[in-house]
Structure 1
Amino acid sequence: MREEEVRMWKKFKRTKSQALREEIVKKYLYLVKYVAGRVAIGLPPNVEFNDLVSYGILGLFDAITKYDVSQGNKFETYAVSRIRGSIMDELRKLDWAPRLLRKKAREIEKKCKELEEKNGRSVSDDELAEALNISTDELNGIYSDLNSTTFLSLDEVWQNDDGNKPISRLQTIEDSLITNQFSYVHQNEVKEILAHSIDDLPEKEKLVVVLYYYENLTLREIGEILDVSESRVCQIHTKVVTRLRSHLTRRVGELTLDA
């Protein structure tokens, strides 16, 4: 962190200046818009971007109040977590993911994990659907519903060297529950497991991950490349993330048992 930023934060903590607080808010408002933009991807169209920004600003205020410069961490890294948490909390209050659908998502992840442990390999849609006593079409329908109501993503915001703008890299599962679950495992191990899991995906699913997370293409653009509809890309994306989360949970469990 640059010296002038350290001095700014120390002055703010010492004086609690409202004018300085407003300056800090203006300085880091771009983080709110960035996080809101990433969260907005895949949400129903009736969710207003400006509402997401409003939720995120509350997180920025909280981050400014609680940030401790003496810890040596970049404010941007700390703030992004608070901003996203604030947005997610508000969306959960609105309950965009109905309880029944969330229950189905947990059942799919649990069954996928069980089958992988039993067979020692990734399972096909047909195998997973049979184990769940539903048709493959029904399974795909659930994936489509999940995509529009939940916040499944592999995306985590990290900072570039100068700390001015956030950059998006494939690091780990972003969902807060999963992130907390893996907090006791070294991040390098998690990233290695995830990288291997992605490499083992079928070609079309792997391509969706690469184009979306590495090339930053929109779902519509990916659909044009694959010659499929945007909704089909959404479905593939949701399926991939659900399976990767299940696989990652299983592998992390094996790591802790081996430790």
Structure 2
Amino acid sequence: MYTAQGNIEKSHLLKQHQPMVRRIALQMMSRLPASVELDDLIQAGMLGLLDASNRYEDNRGAKFETFAGQRIRGAMLDELRANDWGSRGLRQSARRVEKAVQALEHRHGRAPSEAEIAQELALDLESYRSLLQEIRGCQLLYVEDFSKDDSENAFLDLFAKEARMDRYGGSDPEEQLLESDLRQQLVAAIKALPERDQLLMSLYYEQELNLREIGAILEVSQSRVCQLHAQAISRLRARLRP
């Protein structure tokens, strides 16, 4: 639906894309602690959708779904950060796993097994898997800051600010990210994952299957899918860090 000036009517955009807000919220929820409320994410996402409808200009050629999806995710991330959804202790545990994976890969020249990672962390296999279950809430942002100062600021945060958009001449920050060397590094890191991890990432991010569906394909429980997902992300982070 369009206005008399030929622009898309905002109320129509909001109504049409409400299901997308819920879908994105559900995708995020599968990687967050149980303390995070779905309704809170949806509410934040709706604010992001409203912001997208106010800022969108269809004469620029970008699809509204792409533009809105970025704004919705950004609003949800802001909500999570504002409520300190990941404790410092959990973030440090996630870093420990990543560093263990990185050390083992350098030592053996291949992706380490679960048992090897557990041994490197001085944990039994059951304790290691429990740790993976706990840290999954700290892995919402998959690509962190790769600077040498080891800061906790997320790499993607640098692209989420309006100042960055201005620096790139108003271009979509997501497009800038996809065109960067980081995309090539990420693709190479995914290809270096064990075969089952590659399949899991494809099912989750490309085919957008839920945990139950992925578990059925891999013939494991939903909680095991969470563990495998957390481990796959740790492998990627370990490879992407300097």
Normalised by the length of structure 1, the TM-score is: 0.67
Alignment map for 1:4-83 (pairs within 5 Å): 7-8=6-7, 20-45=9-34, 47-69=36-58, 71-83=60-72
> What is the CA–CA distance in structure 2 between the aligned matches of 1:5 and 1:235, rounded to whole Å?
53
The code of the aligned residue for 1:211 comes to: L
* Contact 2:139–2:230, Cα closer than 8 Å, also in 1: no
Equivalent position SS for 1:225: helix
Aligned residues: 220
The code of the aligned residue for 1:80 comes to: G
Higher relative contact order (CA 8 A, sep 6+): 2
| Paired position in structure 2 for 1:199 | 191
> What is the CA–CA distance in structure 2 between the aligned matches of 1:210 and 1:174, rounded to whole Å?
21
* Contact 1:153–1:241, Cα closer than 8 Å, also in 2: no
| Paired position in structure 2 for 1:247 | 239
Q: Deviations over 1:45-95 (max 9, x none)?
A: 564433321110111222233335565433322221111111122123333
Residue from 81, 90, 102 that aligns with 2:79: 90
| Paired position in structure 1 for 2:200 | 208
| Paired position in structure 2 for 1:234 | 226
Equivalent position SS for 1:8: coil
Normalised by the length of structure 2, the TM-score is: 0.70
> Post-superposition shift, 1:119?
4.5
| Paired position in structure 2 for 1:169 | none
Equivalent position SS for 2:7: helix
Deviates more, 1:241-250 or 1:20-29: 20-29
Deviates more, 1:38-47 or 1:136-145: 38-47
> What is the CA–CA distance in structure 1 between the aligned matches of 2:53 and 2:17, rounded to whole Å?
10
Q: Deviations over 1:116-156 (max 9, x none)?
A: 34554323334434444444433322111122x234477xx
* Contact 2:193–2:235, Cα closer than 8 Å, also in 1: no
Percent identity of paired positions between Structure 1 and Structure 2 = 37
Alignment map for 1:171-182 (pairs within 5 Å): 177-179=154-156
| Paired position in structure 2 for 1:150 | 138
Alignment map for 1:93-132 (pairs within 5 Å): 93-117=82-106, 119-132=108-121
> What is the CA–CA distance in structure 2 between the aligned matches of 1:232 and 1:143, rounded to whole Å?
10
Runs of 4 or more, structure 1, over 6 Å off, are 3-6, 181-185
> What is the CA–CA distance in structure 1 between the aligned matches of 2:131 and 2:197, rounded to whole Å?
17
> What is the CA–CA distance in structure 1 between the aligned matches of 2:4 and 2:93, rounded to whole Å?
47
> Post-superposition shift, 1:236?
0.7
The code of the aligned residue for 2:127 comes to: E
> What is the CA–CA distance in structure 1 between the aligned matches of 2:15 and 2:127, rounded to whole Å?
47
Residue from 200, 217, 222 that aligns with 2:209: 217
> What is the CA–CA distance in structure 2 between the aligned matches of 1:26 and 1:121, rounded to whole Å?
49
Closer/same/farther in 2, CA of residues 214 and 57 from structure 1, 3 Å limit: closer
